[in-house]
Amino acid sequence: MVQLSRICFRKYGNFMDNLRLYVRGGSGGMGLPRLGGQGGNGGNVWVVASKKMTLKSIKDKYPLKRFIGGVGANSSIQALKGDRGMDKEILAPVGISVTNDDGKIIGELNIEGERLMVAKGGSGGSYHTAFQPSKGQAKHIRLDLKLVADLGLVGFPNAGKSSLLTALSNATPEIASYAFTTLRPEIGKLMYKDHKQISVADLPGLIEGAHLNKGMGHNFLKHVERTKQLMFVVDVTGFQLASKTPFRSAFEAVQLLTKELELYKEELVSKPALLVVNKMDLPDAEDKLAELKEQLENPDEFSDLLPDDMIPKNYIAFRHVVPVSAATKFGVEDLKNCIRQSLDESAEMETTDMHREKLQALRSSLH
């Protein structure tokens, strides 16, 4: 009888899938009543899509999260029409939606270089406004990564991701015993008794060198960016991609997957993650699981199993390590509960953070 065991770690990853910003268009410049001059308009604030950016990189670069357009120049005797204020550009990741604080959608950015105006600058003062300028629009906006699913399955080919998704959900993905079966994300829905639904994406199988765009490479990694949490799936007996490539144990598979994510975008590794150890119905699975757990508890001691350039900078502290068999459904219910727990935990943390942020903003507006 297989003993159901689970290691639980708490991990507060710093991956962000949404970010709230304050934006304000620049004020217009004063007109010049004596000569009928017109002040310059204030600069607009734009969000501009850039592949290089992540939401976290915006927060790191601009901790105050305030973006204000330039002020329009006053009209003067030398320049009756004042210069426009400078526009302010916020570089943001591709694949986001932008909403007002009340949830109304301002727009989406889906391709590199696409731009969206989020706050218009004020008008310069002119004859029609008694030469008084107006202020720019001011608001809070929210940037949200457009997610493909709550959870993304990450694993090497044949680990059993498609089988697992079928066992967990109502999806009927294509399953075959050869590598690279999964060509596009297949989304499964996990249903809970209280009607909560969690979506899981089966992403194209990763191979070593994916960060160099080998196999389904970037196609795969691009989807990983669009899930809230990760679910690593490994074959408890290890795997060998091809006769020419080395055999990899489950521990090595975990670290190689981690390294591939890290090499593509380091931030991905900070997403909350679960580890599913599949194929527990195979002979010697129990011993192999025990060995894997020992290795995961002291990964540094076992890093010499990996080629130097494939040792991750940081080992992932999985929230749950769950042994299952997608074939017999052993452990699948337990996994479903772990998934729910992990997502609920993150949602709670997000709500707390949001309240804290709003309270801070309120306090600073009172001072």
Ligand X SMILES: Nc1nc2c(ncn2[C@@H]2O[C@H](COP(=O)(O)OP(=O)(O)OP(=O)(O)O)[C@@H](O)[C@H]2O)c(=O)[nH]1
Residue ranges that bind ligand X, judged by CB under 6 A = 155, 157-163, 175-177, 179-182, 205, 278-279, 281-282, 325-327
Minimum distance between the CB of residue 182 and ligand X, rounded to whole angstroms? Answer: 3
Residues ≥6 apart with Cβ < 8 Å to 288:
236, 237, 238, 249, 250
Choose between 54 and 163: whose C-beta lies nearer to ligand X.
Answer: 163
Choose between 266 and 334: whose C-beta lies nearer to ligand X.
Answer: 334
Whole-angstrom distance, CA of residue 93 vs CA of residue 112: 8
Q: Which two tokens stand for residue 36?
A: 């009928």
Whole-angstrom distance, CA of residue 31 vs CA of residue 287: 81
Minimum distance between the CB of residue 237 and ligand X, rounded to whole angstroms? Answer: 9
CB-nearest residue to ligand X: 205
Whether 271 contacts 346, CB under 8 Å: no
| CA-closest candidate to residue 210, choices 228, 226, 222 | 222
Minimum distance between the CB of residue 202 and ligand X, rounded to whole angstroms? Answer: 6
Minimum distance between the CB of residue 277 and ligand X, rounded to whole angstroms? Answer: 10
Minimum distance between the CB of residue 95 and ligand X, rounded to whole angstroms? Answer: 23
Choose between 225 and 235: whose C-beta lies nearer to ligand X.
Answer: 235
Q: Is 106 in a helix, a strand, or coil?
A: strand
Paired with 199 in beta bridges are: 189
Q: What single-letter DSSP state applies at residue 120?
A: P
Choose between 82 and 155: whose C-beta lies nearer to ligand X.
Answer: 155
Whole-angstrom distance, CA of residue 12 vs CA of residue 31: 53
| DSSP structure string for 242-261 | STTSPPB-HHHHHHHHHHHH
Whole-angstrom distance, CA of residue 27 vs CA of residue 70: 7
Choose between 116 and 210: whose C-beta lies nearer to ligand X.
Answer: 210
Choose between 24 and 161: whose C-beta lies nearer to ligand X.
Answer: 161
Which residue, chain included where needed, has tokens 């508890």?
Answer: 297
User: To 10 degrees, the CA torsion angle through 301, 304, 307, 312?
Assistant: 10
Choose between 266 and 281: whose C-beta lies nearer to ligand X.
Answer: 281
Paired with 229 in beta bridges are: 151
Choose between 118 and 210: whose C-beta lies nearer to ligand X.
Answer: 210
Minimum distance between the CB of residue 165 and ligand X, rounded to whole angstroms? Answer: 8
Minimum distance between the CB of residue 299 and ligand X, rounded to whole angstroms? Answer: 23
Minimum distance between the CB of residue 229 and ligand X, rounded to whole angstroms? Answer: 18
| DSSP structure string for 200-215 | EEEPPPP-TTGGGT-T
Choose between 41 and 166: whose C-beta lies nearer to ligand X.
Answer: 166
Count the neighbouring beta carbons within 10 Å of the beta carbon of residue 184. Answer: 12
Q: What single-letter DSSP state applies at residue 70?
A: P
Whether 190 contacts 212, CB under 8 Å: no
Minimum distance between the CB of residue 190 and ligand X, rounded to whole angstroms? Answer: 17
Whether 332 contacts 326, CB under 8 Å: yes
